Structure 1
């Protein structure tokens, strides 16, 4: 699998907007602390023991979870809910359209990541824990549905948009692929190998056909669900193999016509890749040229027109060149 990578492309426009919101990192490897669930004009981020929402038009900060008893190591949003997890299995869930909240501990160790998904008309919260399990709860009922056991600490899980598959990664190079049955079952159907180190993030594209895994050794691996026998891409980081080139977070654009894959490095750089061919990439330095800076998270807006990059001192907002992404070369098959 050899892909010639063209680098002289511009998927996101220069001159990013700088929002003076500080996002704080609680765990040196967990970097998924910013979200944009509802509008391209609003993003959520972790600051110490709070989760805030920032409106980019009105420059207004709104507390969503304030004065928590823990500082979140992970957050996620989806289907009208926000969840925040802590170092000692703490969990806080809020329904964004109401004041409903639930605060509990789920057992085990660090809640490394969470995923909110739909299942047969209901909503589920999946919690990835260092105790080698993914704990599955109903929302908003917070009833424990099942627990999925894996042979390693679980760092991240993602459910496909069609609700039929799940991929999970942890403190090994293995990638665990599951079928989600009409009942409550999560059946492991394949175990793949990403690279040579732990996986810290995974994501599905909007058609539920491709999934990507970000690994600590500085690679993002991509598979097509229709043939998992061979990767369709293996993408390196700018700073690989240095520790600061570890791939910490990976996201596909949520709308189909944009077809981008974005991944962040441990420090200073994000990469934006053509998710149709995987042979064009734009690497963007989000830290000053004079110093390296930690990245706390990355997210697309729901319409894929903007991306937000969390830093410890500010949040960057980049505009996606959507016109360019909707223009296909002559002869392209889409």
Structure 2
């Protein structure tokens, strides 16, 4: 991936923020917050007085992000058209987005699998590198974790409250002693990636830092620096449970390494090196195969025990930043800066079985629901696509909003979908709930 620069967040703001096209949005937002709106207390977060949007309000025609289009000098439709025309997709290989179009599947976008529940504007997610977008994780239908400035926060959509679970603004050091753990810890860690599963939280940093915290224990459990190389950024972290039941995680780094850590023993268990910086690695459900994607158009499928290449993945035209396995262990997906997500079948890897096209830019985050029914792919901004896997990815729900995407996550029970939105004015956490057809049950009452 591209080297980190201090102005990466400014890069996003300069190119893509809403206020760049219509300068009166900030003023209108401020006026709306000062005046309040027409009804109930549930529009407001009681502690911050920031206007949220509920499903009931959205049904009455209020914009899901609270954008007062009726007061602005541009309509939503015109602004959407302008964004589509003016958004500049970041490419490492020029014109990769145009070159990929011919392979893409035509989809039915008129589907609705998850319905809008709430937009919480008191929850501000942060992006510190424009290419890394795995900073939102759901651990239940109502609980999400995300990076906000120098803190990882927990958000409860039941109580509409947030709380710090890991603050890295100052000094962080482990309160437990384990071999190999850096007891001196880290100071002012810039978090590049995040993963949360069950009771384990792992944060990766721009200097190769790894900070592990058990959410049911006080303090930090483990600190580790993967490398002291200049090009040390931790690009992705994935937590999984091994066949023996032990909790592990893999860390993908810009030093071309993938490292596996055993959190039962608190130690590095494997270290594989590849020919190029690794941006993401995903382990299949039976733990035998790893998908490796990074600063090369070709991805790799490798043996998870030895790191040896099983197959090369040819088809993408630029660098890839996302990967994910379907629960069947047969199919997986990769996301690329050529604006496509490709679907692969391990039984025939000579070519991808489908290429799915984004609207604006790179596919930087991919998630499958735990039941395998849906796949969500997130663009850098404005769009998250939810595909019906059973339809052969031919049917999708296109979730349309404005702002950079910091991450997307299904809850483990598949009932919720959370989307982190980064924008100076309209940054928030969008929450969607799975649509269910209860018409037969309803007729019984």
TM-score above 0.5: yes
8 Å Cα contact 2:252-2:278 kept in structure 1? yes
Choose from 134, 156, 165 the match for 2:289.
Answer: 165
Aligned partner of 2:112 in structure 1 is 10
Tell me, in whole angstroms, the C-alpha distance in 1 between the residues paired with 2:350 and 2:113: 30
Q: How does 1:188-207 map to 2 (within 5 A)?
A: 188-207=309-328
- Per the TM alignment, residue 322 of structure 1 is displaced from its structure 2 partner at its CA by 4.0
2:145/2:196 contact within 8 Å kept: no
Q: CA RMSD in A?
A: 1.7
Residue 229 of structure 2 corresponds to residue 229 of structure 1? no
- Structure 2 residue 258 is matched with structure 1 residue 131: no
Q: Distance in 2 between matches of 1:220 and 1:262?
A: 10
**Distance (Å, rounded) in 2 between the aligned partners of 1:212 and 1:295:** 19
The SS at the match of 1:43 is: strand
Aligned partner (choices 131, 148, 171) of residue 47 of structure 1: 148
Matched, 1:23 2:125: yes
Q: Match of 2:182?
A: none
Partner Cα distance (1:213, 1:167) in 2: 9
Distance 1:97 1:226 in 2: 41
Residue 32 (structure 1) aligned to one of 124, 134, 150: 134
Q: How far off is 1:217 after superposition?
A: 1.5
| Pair member with larger Rg | 2
Q: How far off is 1:3 after superposition?
A: 4.0
The alignment status of 1:295 with 2:414, answered yes or no, reads no
Match of 1:281 among 385, 396, 404: 396
Matches within 5 A, 1:75-86: 75-86=194-205
How far apart in 2 are the matches of 1:79 and 1:44?
12
Alpha-carbon shift at residue 164 of structure 1 (Å)? 2.0
- What is the aligned partner in structure 2 of residue 255 from structure 1? 371
Q: Structure 1 residue 2: deviation in Å? A: 6.9
What is the deviation of 1:179? 2.4
Kept in 2, the 8 Å contact 1:10–1:282? The answer is yes
Q: Do the aligned partners of residues 3 and 17 (structure 1) sit closer, same or farther apart at CA in structure 2, a change above 3 Å counting?
A: same
> Superposition pairs for residues 42-191 of structure 1, below 5 Å?
42-68=143-169, 69-99=188-218, 101-107=221-227, 108=229, 109-121=232-244, 122-181=246-305, 185-191=306-312
For 1:201 and 1:175, locate their aligned partners in 2 and report how far apart those are by CA, in whole Å: 11
Which has more strand, going by share of residues?
A: 1
**Count of aligned pairs:** 307
After superposition, the Cα gap between the structure-2 partners of 1:49 and 1:123, relative to the gap in structure 1 and judged at 3 Å, is: same
Unaligned residue ranges in structure 2 (runs of 5+): 1-102, 170-187, 439-445
Distance in structure 2 (CA, Å) of the matches to 1:254 and 1:207 = 10
Match among 418, 421, 425 for residue 308 of structure 1: 418
Contact conserved, 1:305 with 1:322, CA < 8 A, in 2? no
| 2:10 corresponding residue in structure 1 | none
Matched, 1:216 2:341: no
Question: Which structure has the highest helix share of the two?
Answer: 2
Deviates more, 1:85-94 or 1:119-128: 119-128
1:97 counterpart SS class: coil
Change (3 A) 1:79 1:318: closer
8 Å Cα contact 1:194/1:213 also seen in 2: no
Name the counterpart of 1:328: none
Q: 2:381 aligns with which of 263, 267, 288?
A: 267
- Preserved contact between residue 116 and residue 126 of structure 1 (Cα < 8 Å): yes
> Is the 8 Å Cα contact of residues 273 and 281 (structure 1) preserved in structure 2?
yes
TM-score by length of 2: 0.66
Conserved in 2, the CA contact under 8 Å of 1:50 and 1:71? no
- TM (norm. structure 1) is 0.87
